[in-house]
Structure 1
Amino acid sequence: MAESTDQEKLLKRINELAHKNKEEGLTEAETEERAKLRKEYLKNFREAMRSNIEMMRIFDDNGKEVTPEKVREIQRKKGLRDD
């Protein structure tokens, strides 16, 4: 849960800077801060999304597993499956 709190803090500050930029503009330091925060937010988001996808198993309507082989291979390497 700590990760989502960090993400929320990043997003809150990014939004503060976005509002300030629309209203009055940003200083050079704030522009740099915004770029750094956006980069960190996207990095964290991508890591979380990758983790979610790698943990996922997909089944069709008949109950047959249809998880893509690439994902299955990653799961095997991480010890999440034994097939």
Structure 2
Amino acid sequence: MLKVIFYTKEICSLCDDAMALLHMLQNDYEFEIEERDIYTNDKWLEEYQLLIPYVQIKDIGIDCEHMDMEVLEQAIKEKS
């Protein structure tokens, strides 16, 4: 099954919106979401602090500036 890694933090409205998009896409596509709080890992914090919400789908990374339903759906379709 396809794994979508979702980098996030607590109290992040953009993250909440992105997670809602992923949950909507789960109605049409089979994938699991692995949620990672960037404040639990120094490497994640350094790498994604300015990019969250950040989604990793195999070799595709989608940052907060490019996060929308079409981009997420295309990445999930491509990697499924």
TM-score by length of 1: 0.28
Higher helix share: 1
Which is higher, the Rg of structure 1 or of structure 2? 1
